[in-house]
Structure 1
Amino acid sequence: MLKERIWCPAQATRRSAVWMLAIATLLCPVSAGAQVTGTISGYVRDQGGGVMPGATVTVQSAGQQLVRTAQTNASGFFDLQALPRGRYLVTVEMSGFESQIRKDVEVSAGGNIRLDFELGVGGLTEAVEVAARATMLESRTATQSDLIDDQRVQDLPMNGRNVVALAGTYAGVTNIRANQDTSDGRQGPVMSVNGGNQNHNLFTLNGSVFTHFNQTTGFNPPPPDAVQEIRIQMHNFTAEYGHTAGSQVSIVSKSGSNNFTGTAWEFHRNSELNARSFFQTRKPEQKQNQAGASAGGAIVPNKLFWFGSFQRLWDRREAGSSQTTVPTDAQRAGNFTGLSTQLRNPVNPITGAAFTNSAGQPCIAVNVINPGCISPVARNVLDQYVPRSPDGTFVTLSPSPRDHAVYMGRVDYHVNANNQLNAHYFADRSDSSSWPGNVNYVQQQLFSDVDQFGISDSHIFGPRLLNEATFSYLSSRSGGGAVTQILPRDLGVNVDLGPDGRGMSLSVSGGINLSYPGINAQDYESWQVKDTMTFSTGNHTVKWGYELIKAAFEFNLALNRTANFQGTRTGNPYADFMVGAFENATVEFGIADHSPSTIKHQFFVEDSYRAHPRLTLNYGLRYEPFIPWDQLGGRHTSWIPGVQSTVVPDAPTGLLFPGDPELPERLTYSDLNNFAPRFGAAWDVTGNARTVVRGGYGLFYQQVNGETTHAAEGPWRGTTQLRQGRIEDPFGSLGQVEPPPESPGRFGCSPIDRYPGLRCTEYPLPIRTVYTDPHLRTTYTHHVSTSVQRQVTGNLAVEASYIGKIGRKLVGHNYFNAAPYINSPITGLPPSLQNVEERVPFSPGIISAQSRVLGNFFRSTYHSLQLRVERRFARTFSFSGSYALSKNMTNQPENTTGLISNIPNPFDLESLWGPSFLDRRHVVAASWVWSPQVGLGNAGLRAVLNGWTLTGLHRIQSGGPLAFTMGTDVAQVGTLNTGGQYAMLRPGMTADDVRRDHDSRHDMISAYFNTSAFVPLNEVPRGVFGDARRGLIYGPGDVNTDLAIMRYFSLMSDVRLQVRGEFFNAFNQVNFNNPVTNVSSGNFGRITGAGSGRVVQLAAKLLW
């Protein structure tokens, strides 16, 4: 298995500089912000309602005995900030008045607890304990945020035991990915929050950045038994928080206390307890054990505390594919007479000659393929890798074992009453193997290692000044590749791709997909230094701060070699495959290193102004200048037509490189005007925090991630695109020469007096280039929200909100050299796929039609009504439920911005406007915890019935928008992913004609929509773009219920045993995948996949 460290020589200097800065920072009395602490504030009044300045408010933590005091100001207001999360005893004292005490005040990370006191006349020795709990509403902030507390973290069922999945308890969060483990450092948690893209989120662990900035994805957090709580700031967060236009996800680990406490657990799965998925013929085998322990205590009581956890996963499972169509026995022999359509005999696109066998006979006649024309590649693939199936379908079940281990340690040190220090170390180790594609072609083995170290310290300089800061280091390494090597020549494909394990992938539209895993090695590192000051004066609480993040990434990209068969040559995808007539093939060559790095500087200032005891204003300004990502060795390019590079003088005109005087050093100008104002107001209508109206506006920037901006292209790396050749000899059949397998490193171009005007001896033409618009601007989003909250009873609150987002200058790729549908300016011949490169607007035959530019091409809007009800735990029961009605619109074709773009029409981006792929019009989410207590009956009955806890998660959501596609380059523009061009409706057809009612489940599966409403692919005129835009109709919705039941048994006075059962998709609800929407697919209109069936997990925990 590949597990070699990728090393960047330039990192040594960067590392030394950042470590020096970290040491200098920690020599000062500083601490960690980022939502790891909370606040207790409120007013102290006498029984007549008069304010009481000078009252002493003391808080003492229950676990670590931390003591903090504050004096009320002239308005009788106190504000205790930067309190570590936990339970507190709050005492208020004033000479001449009785003191008051409130116990078990729960402070959460990022929470603002409102506690008001009313003191009666008496002596200090007369202490009155107030039983009332803190109000449920936050009346001092306009931020929309949600807390997932310790009880829900521990008790709610989580499929995969990834606490990020609990974000699904809120209706405004959709499209969550929270895997049990990851095999790739960039495949961590993502989610769409209030219409944002899935990678528009910042994850932190104990205040330290826990996000991979190359693709802006999170990392998997510690197990639930090591997590105290999660807070998700979803909308209109204050100027203190940035980096992203989506959400802030703060994960806080547990910490030690004066008591030695801990948990040991094991969770077990066995396929015998599960139900199969709808299309699977049998249940996939699985035996999984997930075991671990966590514990914490005091090293020095009241002073120094420790906490640690460990979890190991052993998973031996089979992974299942979607239902796949395979050739029948007759079709394997070349007999397609069972088709209702007439096959065509394919032709050579260069000569126009029809396919024939060695005797000159046509390859296809009356839907029968001449035996002499059956491709040896097809025979090899079918005989070796594709099972026979009586009904022409099968589902692959293949072994996919995984091993995963997670470690975490934390230390908290109370230096003195004014100074607290904490540090943590986190490690994640994962190894897995799987079979990509939908047939068992080549097994891949992967590993992923993640390490993080974070340290923070808070120092109180006086009653009004607090300093907070953090330093963290994050590292992620992952990689892998094919277990066995299958070269193209082993299949019968005449391509020499070098000795480095490169293989070839083959796919048939609507059928088999032989996916060859490429070499994949990644190394990511980031450093964070952050400092925040808080100054309180009168009715103002002012914060300001600075954050530095240094990120570097090295990625050995997998070089793609693919060929696909679409049915465009014969009229049927498998007939194309049997005669070896591919639609297009891609062969990448050269080096695969991708090594971006960047520095982020972030500044902010904000004020929380108590304009009135009932009105708080939050306003601030954040500054996030964008410094472009750099590429190691300058291996990236730009494009200015007509300009000759002086750095690489043998390059074609128009291609420019770092150092050319026409462009900045990193080829993109810094974006230095990224000022983000934030404003919000919270109105406590009645003055007792039981009715709160809040609203706000903010500007939020989403900085470009590293994977989007740069990848090595010519002359270091290149791509050759082949169109409509024969798979046995892809290059020879089209009269082309194979590219060099290794990196040329130079072009060797010199002018000639014939097309294309250049002869390049070192690098094959045409050249595909990818560049970033030198004037690229940072994506920004306007957040607007208003809400009304009401605490109906002591433990029940309701809320109604409007949440809106308007995204501008969204970043993505477009093809700047796509070929218009015109006669060839070179030969005068009609347009075809073979003369695409002759028809491009810039440098025909030299700069490829696949060349693209990263720019601010896209926009989005999101509007939603959100309703919520919450009952906090009381009298054995808690409940949280929410509903979102929303509309998410965009012209961005993908929900993440990567190096590859699917642009259905590069000439008209506004034609892409429609519902986002993330759009879920209706979402209902609910969770509950119930611990019933029976007080009647005899003692034996009570012993049997009491002690149980039942919990549940419920989620219902409507389906996502469907995009109907051609499956091939009908418009003949020559770009990548041309199969994504929109399909064409028959004249007069609308969405109502596409949508159809279903008589039964079988009817829905076999024909989800009216396929006759679309023009068949062979009837669509060439050179046109279809009109079946995304969102014409929507796919199937989802309904899911997860349940858990558990019971505690007392073993000793301080030791308990918990046994529990968890039931994911408890009612075995069938949740179908979207139907196939590719017009050229043999499964067009059919549903071929579904979510998993019921999964049962049994567990035991020992708690002390």
Structure 2
Amino acid sequence: MTIHSARHRRPFCSTSPVRYGRISMLALALSGAVGMLATGTATAQSTTAGIYGSAPASAGATVTVQSDNGFTRTAPVDASGRYAIGNLPVGTYTVTLQREGQAAETRKNIALRVGAGTDVSFGSSDASSDTATLGTITVTGNNISPVDVSATASRTVITAEQLQRLPLARSGEAIALLSPGAVQGSGYFGNAISFGGAGVTENAYYLNGYLSSNPLTNIGGVTLPYGAIDQQETYTGGYSARYGRSAGGVLSQIGKRGTNEWHFGGQMLWRPKSLSSDYKNVFYPDTPLPSSDYSYSKPELPGTLYRSRKGDKAWNTVFSAYVGGPLIEDRLFVFVAAEQERNDGVSTASRDASVIGRDTYRRDKPKVYAKVDWNINDSNILEFTGVKNNYRESGAYSDFSYPGVITQSASGAFADTVKVDDRYYIGKYTSYITDALTFSATYGKSQQSDYRNNPSLAPYLYNANREDPAITGGGEIHNNQTSTQSRDGENRTHGLRLDLEYVLGSHTLASGVDNMYFNANNEGALTTGPGYTWTYDKLDPNVPISDTLGVGPAGGNGYYVYRGVFKTATSMSVRQKAYFLEDKWQINDRLLMILGVRNDKFTNFNDAGKVYVESGDQWAPRLGISWDAFGDSSLKVYGNVGRYYLALPNSVAIRGASPSTYTSEYFTYTGIDAQGNPTGLTPIPVHPRAGVSCSGNVVSSNRECGQQPDVASVAANNLKSMYQDEFMVGFDKTLGSDWVTGAKFTYRNLGTTIDDVCDSDKMRTKLTAIGVDPSTVDVPGCVIFNPGETNSFSLANLDGSGRTALSMSSADWGFDKKAKRKYLALDLFLQHPFDGTWEGRIDYTVSRNFGNTEGQVKSDIGQADVSKTQDWDAAALMWYSGGYLANDRRHQIKLYGSYQIAPEWLIAGNIRVLSGTPKSCLGYVSINGISEKSAAGDPVGYGSKYHTCNGQPSRPGDAGRLPWTKIVDLGLTYRPEFADKKLAFTLQGFNIFNERKPLQVDSTWEDNHYTLSNTYGMGVNFTQPRYAVLSVSYDY
């Protein structure tokens, strides 16, 4: 589907374990098997962990674990000297070995990592790590093996303690970027992330086990206040059958909870303006013309200033506080955290903006998190979570001028007023029915409102720099409208998850239900101002403006204007149901196999409540294997293979299954009024064509004329859900007692994808071929299909006599390739876990991400119409589309760590060195001697959207790559002894070498036939300039 340009200010928007002591080879070998069964529900939305280990076998020996909020569980030591306790709430535990009812040994301060098993073994003479002997009781510090032989997935867990040490931007995405294979997505989509070559819409977010992804588009999600994060688990592959809704990665955050001790604290952060650097000025590229056939839209612009960024800075303050503790000791606990962030800044508009001025803006982001834990007894637990995130934005313009540009005052222009509210309520019940049987139920609901509008009543003006100079006197007439779209939508979700787990000998059997429901009301967009925009342009007066749309030549001096209307606000819903079965089979002391299957069912409804996509059963097998090679957790070899299905998000109904309007009406003009409205309009003749004409002179490339679509013909009857197959194999190896290294190979292959195709002429051709008169059938402008597959459609007969069945193969559409996306990667790492003095980890990833389909969005032009991109709209758009995809970064080096240089001083760093992403060039069709001015030069009426430039094919990546980026962040923390180290002063510097490189460039080569865009190849998104953050915190 063709893209609609819009300004989006706020798009929805391995562990580092503690060093462990020496444990005998025999103890580790005996504990390995039972340990793999102790992790409980170690899935991407897990909120629990497990403890396992070995102890000298004796009659009646037991192991008791007690959390820091008094929760207690006991398990027997079996005849082989092993024990395991799973499904434990994340926290800090005391583990006690008991013989004959008396405590024999105790391990304290055992901090669990979510989704992982922690080895706590007894009977060894470990004299390290805070060990003291009190009679027969041994007290020791944390004891976590650096190689987790119970895990087969690829994940990174970052704890609250690490967040205090490391210099990171305060977001879940910044934490996730520490993971190997995770890269920043296109700047068009805010801070969204691509994992393992997948698109930015293919991830899942979780808060305390409940889905918090953007309920409309699945781009991004809601995260906790930074100070409320206990742990963030980031999955990059290998999820078990218990998990779905992602083909990319997972950001799962576990919030803090109250304990038997009251704790409170606060923090103030300040990012001063004086310690922030400016963005670099942006200049029009000064690229020589490829031949005399071409000219620039504005020949005077190459090499001149496009956007001044001098003085464009941002500064902010953050205030946060928390308190947590017992309401009833050992039984009822509360934790509350609040955060108030205020961002201020200045942003200068470019010289081709609708309003040329400087926007002084303010953005407020208050967040609140609350959690209540009720230990009803040692067999039953209730948890309640509430999260509220708000976002407010506003701004006002002041005057700014560019040399040689004559324009009006920007005073009186305003940025959009934005109000976004997110609320989540989550409840979880866990019952330890017996030592072998555990049941849990999680229910949650959310509500999101998204309001944004511009107070101006004037129409938005595109291309004011192409107004007829004979009318303007060489200047530009603007108004005070700065935005194209308004919205006032609401989204609601609710979901229920049930898990049942039973330990039967060497098998841990699990089954469950995982259901989510999404409802959207009034979502989509309306055109700001009077409900339409004006776009000014110029073309050869004797050449048709668009043969495809039937729009004739402008005549005269070639200047023309068109009125655009875009209206897509509608309602819709999605139902996602799933159930799974899983067997974690400990084949022997060293080999674990996790075998599972998941069945996902997706149903999408339009504004009338009618089904337009229904998937049916989708069986996804998953297999994971972990081999403890030496039986001592020093070498783990693991592998995964699985299939992952992805649902269509709610937004697909917008411009698809519900009414939408996206029209153009073309005119010549004789004047322009003070608000930029053309006057003296004369309609340009339009030749009516089936599939593009609405009424009169109004045309729509996809026949979006505001009509209610025929829901039965919106999508293929045999539509298959998007899915991806994944294979992963790797190893983790200890190097002595202080280091861990490893390698992992990943292969991902896109099996099926979903997009829309908008070539109704091909459907008419096929109807004619099977003996049906196309004029008797309602042929839709666009339909949802599986690219490269043969799909069946049901089209309504116009006389009301029934429907006509139509089968369309890939060849019928004119495609000669199937959808393709492949990702291959080799990850290498070396890690030194934190030992009380220092920690460090370095990752190197070499990868290839190639094919002809990025996924559900199109990053090189910033198209966020999920599963309705311009790709696959027609065969001509896919010519020469195979190449390196938008998220392909061939090389990634990541290094982070911290060092306690003195008892009161700590330094930390985070370094990222990444190769650049591929560039694209999209022009008119000019291969094989085709003239751009001919009908064949723009065969589907999309303009400069084809993979050909300057008479040559231009595959993704043929235009080169963006430069490498090298970002270094450093931090220094001072914790004075006089305050018992509860008080901290921190200085953090981000991008300290002030590297300001483009992360995205303009890919559109031409504005019109043989008319080069002045902005092609120019940077549109950049790395953030250097800035510093000062903070003071107190934690009691």
Indicate the TM-score class for this superposition, using the shorter chain for normalisation.
0.7 to 0.9
**730 and 309 in structure 1: CA distance in 2 versus 1, 3 angstrom threshold:** farther
Tell me which amino acid in the other structure corresponds to 1:952: G
Pick aligned residue for 1:794 from 730, 737, 753: 737
**978 and 900 in structure 1: CA distance in 2 versus 1, 3 angstrom threshold:** farther
Task: Look up the match of 1:902.
Answer: 870
Q: Is the Cα–Cα contact under 8 Å of residues 594 and 711 in structure 1 kept in the other structure?
A: no
| Aligned partner of residue 612 in structure 1, secondary structure | coil
Distance 1:869 1:429 in 2: 40
Q: Is the Cα–Cα contact under 8 Å of residues 779 and 856 in structure 1 kept in the other structure?
A: no
| Aligned partner of residue 525 in structure 2, secondary structure | coil
| Aligned partner of residue 768 in structure 1, secondary structure | coil
Please say which of residues 1078-1087 and 690-699 is displaced more in the overlay.
Answer: 1078-1087
Distance 1:152 1:758 in 2: 57
Task: Look up the match of 1:768.
Answer: 703
Please say which of residues 466-475 and 483-492 is displaced more in the overlay.
Answer: 483-492
Q: Is the Cα–Cα contact under 8 Å of residues 551 and 597 in structure 1 kept in the other structure?
A: yes
Tell me which amino acid in the other structure corresponds to 2:607: L
Q: Is the Cα–Cα contact under 8 Å of residues 325 and 512 in structure 1 kept in the other structure?
A: no
Task: Look up the match of 1:648.
Answer: none
> What are the equivalent positions in structure 2 for 1:396-795 lying under 5 Å apart?
397-434=358-395, 443-487=415-459, 516-560=483-527, 561-562=532-533, 564=535, 568-569=539-540, 585=562, 587-588=564-565, 592-627=568-603, 629-633=604-608, 666-668=611-613, 670-711=614-655, 716-722=659-665, 728=678, 732-735=682-685, 768=703, 771-795=714-738
Question: How much is the aligned-residue C-alpha RMSD, in angstroms?
Answer: 4.2
Say yes or no: does 1:953 pair with 2:963. no
Pick aligned residue for 2:921 from 959, 964, 988: 964
**585 and 815 in structure 1: CA distance in 2 versus 1, 3 angstrom threshold:** farther
Say yes or no: does 1:137 pair with 2:147. yes
Tell me which amino acid in the other structure corresponds to 2:948: A
> What are the equivalent positions in structure 2 for 1:247-262 lying under 5 Å apart?
247-262=249-264
| Aligned partner of residue 152 in structure 1, secondary structure | helix
| Aligned partner of residue 678 in structure 2, secondary structure | coil
Task: Look up the match of 1:855.
Answer: 786
Alignment deviations for residues 606-650 of structure 1 (CA, whole Å, 9 cap, x no partner): 1111111111111111110122x111225xxxxxxxxxxxxxxxx
Alignment deviations for residues 325-355 of structure 1 (CA, whole Å, 9 cap, x no partner): 79xxxxxxxxxxxxxxxxxxxxxxxxxxxxx
Q: CA deviation at 1:1051?
A: 5.6
Task: Look up the match of 2:294.
Answer: none
Task: Look up the match of 1:1046.
Answer: 973
Say yes or no: does 1:299 pair with 2:275. no
**981 and 105 in structure 1: CA distance in 2 versus 1, 3 angstrom threshold:** same
Tell me which amino acid in the other structure corresponds to 2:875: F
Q: Is the Cα–Cα contact under 8 Å of residues 317 and 342 in structure 2 kept in the other structure?
A: yes
Alignment deviations for residues 56-82 of structure 1 (CA, whole Å, 9 cap, x no partner): 111122x21222111134544322111
Q: Is the Cα–Cα contact under 8 Å of residues 518 and 573 in structure 2 kept in the other structure?
A: yes
Task: Look up the match of 1:805.
Answer: 748
Distance 1:425 1:784 in 2: 37
Say yes or no: does 1:268 pair with 2:267. no
**809 and 1089 in structure 1: CA distance in 2 versus 1, 3 angstrom threshold:** closer
Pick aligned residue for 1:163 from 165, 168, 172: 172
Distance 1:74 1:454 in 2: 41
Task: Look up the match of 2:128.
Answer: none
Distance 1:267 1:927 in 2: 22
Say yes or no: does 1:919 pair with 2:888. yes
| Aligned partner of residue 169 in structure 1, secondary structure | coil
| Aligned partner of residue 912 in structure 1, secondary structure | coil
Distance 1:860 1:230 in 2: 29
| Aligned partner of residue 588 in structure 1, secondary structure | strand
Q: CA deviation at 1:951?
A: 1.4
Q: Is the Cα–Cα contact under 8 Å of residues 519 and 556 in structure 1 kept in the other structure?
A: no
Task: Look up the match of 2:89.
Answer: 84
Q: CA deviation at 1:462?
A: 0.8
> What are the equivalent positions in structure 2 for 1:3-14 lying under 5 Å apart?
none
Q: CA deviation at 1:903?
A: 2.9
Alignment deviations for residues 690-743 of structure 1 (CA, whole Å, 9 cap, x no partner): 1100011011111111112443678x5433235685683697331369xxxxxx
| Aligned partner of residue 171 in structure 1, secondary structure | coil
Alignment deviations for residues 762-783 of structure 1 (CA, whole Å, 9 cap, x no partner): 9967671583223221111111
Distance 1:1036 1:512 in 2: 38
Tell me which amino acid in the other structure corresponds to 1:540: H
| Aligned partner of residue 625 in structure 1, secondary structure | strand
Task: Look up the match of 2:196.
Answer: 194
Say yes or no: does 1:889 pair with 2:894. no
Say yes or no: does 1:1091 pair with 2:1026. no
Distance 1:58 1:489 in 2: 71
Distance 2:693 2:667 in 1: 25
**302 and 492 in structure 1: CA distance in 2 versus 1, 3 angstrom threshold:** closer
Tell me which amino acid in the other structure corresponds to 1:602: A
Distance 2:774 2:643 in 1: 38
Pick aligned residue for 2:336 from 308, 333, 342: 308
Pick aligned residue for 2:65 from 59, 78, 85: 59
**580 and 780 in structure 1: CA distance in 2 versus 1, 3 angstrom threshold:** farther
Unaligned runs of 5+ in 1: 1-29, 180-186, 327-380, 387-395, 494-507, 635-664, 738-753, 826-840, 934-945, 988-1025
Alignment deviations for residues 643-668 of structure 1 (CA, whole Å, 9 cap, x no partner): xxxxxxxxxxxxxxxxxxxxxx5233
Task: Look up the match of 1:1014.
Answer: none
Q: Is the Cα–Cα contact under 8 Å of residues 949 and 1046 in structure 1 kept in the other structure?
A: yes
Distance 2:229 2:630 in 1: 36
**230 and 556 in structure 1: CA distance in 2 versus 1, 3 angstrom threshold:** closer
**67 and 429 in structure 1: CA distance in 2 versus 1, 3 angstrom threshold:** same
Alignment deviations for residues 106-126 of structure 1 (CA, whole Å, 9 cap, x no partner): 212212223344479xx9973
Tell me which amino acid in the other structure corresponds to 1:728: P
Q: CA deviation at 1:514?
A: 7.6
Task: Look up the match of 1:363.
Answer: none
> What are the equivalent positions in structure 2 for 1:1030-1041 lying under 5 Å apart?
1030-1041=957-968
The size of the alignment, in residue pairs, is: 856
Distance 1:614 1:884 in 2: 29
Say yes or no: does 1:980 pair with 2:945. yes
Tell me which amino acid in the other structure corresponds to 2:648: V
Q: TM-score, normalising length from structure 2?
A: 0.75
Tell me which amino acid in the other structure corresponds to 2:522: F
Please say which of residues 869-878 and 961-970 is displaced more in the overlay.
Answer: 961-970
Please say which of residues 1085-1094 and 855-864 is displaced more in the overlay.
Answer: 1085-1094
Q: TM-score, normalising length from structure 1?
A: 0.71
Task: Look up the match of 2:156.
Answer: 146
Q: CA deviation at 1:794?
A: 2.4
Q: Is the Cα–Cα contact under 8 Å of residues 32 and 456 in structure 1 kept in the other structure?
A: no
Please say which of residues 797-806 and 895-904 is displaced more in the overlay.
Answer: 895-904
Alignment deviations for residues 846-890 of structure 1 (CA, whole Å, 9 cap, x no partner): 978x64544345331110000112211114111122111011113
Distance 1:801 1:263 in 2: 41
Tell me which amino acid in the other structure corresponds to 1:732: T
| Aligned partner of residue 707 in structure 1, secondary structure | helix
Tell me which amino acid in the other structure corresponds to 2:663: T
| Aligned partner of residue 400 in structure 1, secondary structure | strand
Distance 2:58 2:824 in 1: 45
| Aligned partner of residue 483 in structure 2, secondary structure | coil
Q: CA deviation at 1:40?
A: 3.1
Q: Is the Cα–Cα contact under 8 Å of residues 811 and 897 in structure 1 kept in the other structure?
A: no
Give the percent of matched residue pairs that are identical in Structure 1 and Structure 2. 17
| Aligned partner of residue 901 in structure 1, secondary structure | coil
Distance 1:705 1:550 in 2: 11
Q: Is the Cα–Cα contact under 8 Å of residues 861 and 890 in structure 1 kept in the other structure?
A: yes
**1045 and 1027 in structure 1: CA distance in 2 versus 1, 3 angstrom threshold:** closer
Q: Is the Cα–Cα contact under 8 Å of residues 31 and 458 in structure 1 kept in the other structure?
A: no
